[in-house]
């Protein structure tokens, strides 16, 4: 998969070309090969599926799940079951310029977890739903980091905002965040809780309201 693309946010990621997510670690085997050969290659190349070909042309796909449910769970010998017997065909392919959102929609519509990325009848690689979701998670974390990058001056309990709409009626105001308070005790407690170490001598600030 392309490692150079770093999503700025989820919106940018979903509108990005799917070519940024191509996994070029693709294994292709002829359909007359046996499933045990496919399993060995999957382990060796650390992939979750094998593309099945016939005379050099991709005609299907076999995943680890296919082998588990179509071979192992039925007590069949993987050394005697050929890939063409259990492959899923045809294989869906998308253009590298399709967006991530379009590719996810295709996967959802056909209830599949991965697609081939193809251009001019050539297989460029594959993209899986898990790979895309991993990037979406990265974008979510990046967005969260951006949101908290600044230095907030004050944190106010959202439940308390309702009771503080009329600032003009307040007797005292926080010198840091302008939150209103009715008593000196309330203001003092507020400063202790949220503005400790803000750079102003709190004792001096409190004396301003005495």
Structure tokens at 132: 């895309």
Domain ranges of the chain: 10-145, 158-207
Tens digit of pLDDT per residue, the chain (210 long)?
444 555 567 788 888 899 888 888 998 999 999 999 999 999 999 988 999 988 888 889 999 999 999 999 999 999 999 999 999 888 888 999 999 999 999 989 988 888 889 887 788 889 988 888 887 777 666 554 444 444 443 433 344 333 333 444 456 666 665 666 667 776 677 666 665 544 443 444 444 444
pTM of this prediction exceeds 0.85: no
Which of 59, 1, 61 is CA-nearest to residue 27?
Answer: 61
CA dist., res. 64 & res. 40, Å (int): 11
- Output b/e per residue, 11-27; b: 16+ Cβ within 10 A: eebbebbbbbbbbeebe
The CB density around residue 68, as the number of other CB atoms within 10 Å, is: 11
For the purposes of burial, counting CB atoms within 10 Å of the CB of 169, is it exposed (0-12), middle (13-18) or buried (19 or more)?
A: exposed
Tens digit of pLDDT for each residue in 143-157? 544 444 444 434 333
Q: How far is CA 7 from the centre of its chain?
A: 10
Element (H, E) at 19: none
For the domain 10-145, what is the CATH code? 3.10.580.10
CA dist., res. 102 & res. 190, Å (int): 50
Structure tokens at 129: 């739903």
């Amino acid at each position: 998969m392309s490692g150079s693309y770093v999503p700025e946010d989820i919106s940018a990621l979903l509108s990005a070309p799917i070519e940024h997510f191509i996994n070029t670690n693709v294994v292709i085997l002829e359909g007359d090969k046996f499933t045990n050969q496919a399993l060995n290659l999957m382990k060796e190349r650390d992939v979750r599926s094998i593309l099945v070909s016939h005379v050099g042309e991709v005609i299907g796909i076999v995943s680890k799940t296919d082998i588990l449910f179509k071979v192992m769970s039925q007590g069949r010998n993987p050394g005697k079951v050929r890939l063409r017997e259990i492959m899923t065909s045809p294989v869906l392919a998308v253009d590298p310029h399709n967006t991530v959102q379009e590719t996810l929609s295709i996967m959802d519509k056909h209830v599949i977890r991965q697609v081939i990325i193809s251009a001019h009848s050539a297989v460029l690689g594959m993209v899986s739903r898990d790979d895309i979701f991993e990037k979406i998670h990265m974008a979510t974390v990046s967005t969260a980091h951006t949101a908290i990058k600044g230095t907030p001056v004050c944190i106010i309990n959202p439940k308390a905002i309702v009771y503080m709409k009329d600032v003009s009626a307040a007797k005292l105001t926080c010198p840091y965040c302008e939150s209103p308070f009715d008593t000196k005790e309330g203001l003092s407690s507020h400063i202790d809780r949220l503005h400790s170490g803000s750079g102003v001598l709190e004792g001096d600030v409190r004396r301003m309201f005495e």
